[in-house]
Chains A and B, each alone.
Chain A
Amino acid sequence: MSTILLWLLTFSCLLFLPSLTIGIIRKTKARLQNRVGAPLWQHLFDTIKLLRKSETVSENSSWILRVNTVINISIMITLAFLTPWLSFKPATSADDLFLLIYLFAAIRFFAILSSLDPGSAFGAFGASREATLSVLVEPAIILALSAVALSAHTSNLSLVFALTANTPISQAPLWLLAGAGLFLSSLVELSRMPVDDPTTHLELTMVHEAMMLENSGPNLALLEFSSALRLVVLYGLSGQCFLHALHCIWPFASAAGILLSISIIFALAVVTSLIETVSVRLKWTRAPEFVAYGLTMSLLALLVALVTGVSS
């Protein structure tokens, strides 16, 4: 019985959390600008609307453009089931840290391929920028996750992120640093401010959006949904790190974890909208500096993991 409930809960989180989180980011941004803003579920409405629309596909594009969408969404859903981004998960499977990293890389690889496919200049430089950013940001994500994996002595993320009864308070800085490193890196990975502006209409400045320009209709709907899912999974992962830090200081019941793991995603969404309201988009050549901050957090987390691992 409880397994069915867990499956239901996971499925509904997978279906509705992405749209809701995007909705929260947009709504908060609108409220911060004194606007009413679109309804909270606008992202879902848009997805449904796009699914019903017909498609316009560039005549210069090949099957890659279509296949990308399928690969993208299927890998993303797999990732959403593998990754312990919520405090609950129906089945513990082989969710190795490096498997996750490479699945994320596979998504990016096909996204880059598909944006090069129609031969449009916008898609091509979007792809080039995405590739540059991912080279910079991938080490930060790997290091942050390795740091927590190192302290847990396993690379199975489900075990790493499992809440154990007694965690020493000295683990808190490690989780905090890893969470911060992951969050800063996911801002870059998800093409959000200050490295990319998801709301911009200027094609010349786009990174992620430029790669999706050639998609329309159901294709676009699935890609939009996939990137929203990627957002909640990455926010969920860094949220889990913060929750562990909290658990080190104040051990909460695992039932509370379910609620907390969802609300921390919302909290990170609010933080994102705050960042996007007050920050100015960085000059493209300055983007590596922002990534360097994420890398620094991850490196420090790794250092702390190494040092505490040696001493304990």
Chain B
Amino acid sequence: MLGLAETLATAAAIFGIFMSGCRHVRSAIYLYAVQTALVASIAFVYSASEHTGPALNISLAVVLAKAVGIPFFLGWVVKRLDVRTDSGAFLPVPLSMHVSIALFATSYYLASSLDGAAGTFSAAAGATASISLVFTGLLFMMTRRLAISQIIGFLTMENGIYLLGLHETRGMPVIVEMGVLLDVLAAVMIAGVIVFRIKKNFKHIDVTRLTGLNEQ
């Protein structure tokens, strides 16, 4: 039987898959926000059940920073840059969604081989979801054109790694969580600034076209 945390993790992975099928950058950001909120709520479930640390504070901080703050920031960047759709670089968008389903299946077999996940789906569900999120993020970064999508893909991967850590350790120490959170925030801010610079210098943020030299 699936526990609450595993169900939430699977839902997060499914929202990740939907995100990989989104052509509209803003919808992708919304789906990222939903997925992150689910991941954050898992943190809350784990810490509440294990009685480790100030559970509510941490998950609230994660929700505020990653599921609200970052999407708002990215939404603002998208509005400023006036980009809307990312039609994908070499894989059609609906197809990349189906590839990520295949990756979801792959991650199940990977997760089953992990220690502690002995063969059953319910035991492997958490790890499956985490690995699937990492794959989805990676796929998203690989198949997308816009620099802003690279950031979203990176954040999804980060969600997956965070979830895997959470799942394997059943709640990380506060200091580690805060450190990771800070790192991610800093990375997103820096990436946002870089995207602005790319736009300023190249007049576009299409990474497939960044190989050509540009004369100022």
Contact = CB atoms under 8 A, between A and B. Distances in A.
A11 to B, nearest CB: 40
Interface stretch (B10-18, B35-43, B145-153, B172-180): B10-18
Contacts of B1: 168-170
B26 interface: no
A295 B98 contact: yes
A299 B21 contact: no
Interface residues of A, number: 20
A308 interface: yes
A310 to B, nearest CB: 8
A31 B21 CA distance: 33
A114 B65 CA distance: 58
B121 A307 contact: yes
A300 B21 contact: no
A104 B142 CA distance: 40
Interface string B116-144: 00011110000000000000000000000
A311 interface: yes
B120 to A, nearest CB: 5
Interface string A267-289: 00000000000000000001011
Nearest to B95: A292
A128 interface: no
A173 interface: yes
Contacts of B105: 303
Contacts of A291: 94
Nearest to A288: B94
B120 A311 contact: yes
Interface string B88-128: 00000110011001001100100000000001111000000
A296 B20 CA distance: 11
State the main secondary structure of chain B at its contact with A: helix
A289 B94 contact: yes
A173 B14 CA distance: 11
Contacts of A292: 21, 93-94, 97-98
A299 B10 contact: no
Nearest to A310: B121
B94 A299 contact: no
A296 to B, nearest CB: 5
A293 interface: yes
Contacts of A168: 1
Contact of B101 (A289, A300, A310): A300
B133 to A, nearest CB: 14
Contacts of A170: 1-2, 121-122
27 contacts: A168-B1, A169-B1, A170-B2, A170-B121, A170-B122, A173-B7, A173-B10, A177-B14, A286-B23, A289-B23, A292-B21, A292-B93, A292-B94, A293-B18, A293-B21, A293-B97, A295-B94, A296-B17, A296-B21, A296-B97, A296-B98, A303-B101, A307-B108, A307-B121, A308-B121, A311-B119, A311-B121
Interface of A: 168-170, 173, 177, 286, 288-289, 291-293, 295-296, 299-300, 303, 307-308, 310-311
Interface of B: 1-2, 7, 10, 14, 17-18, 21, 23, 93-94, 97-98, 101, 104-105, 108, 119-122
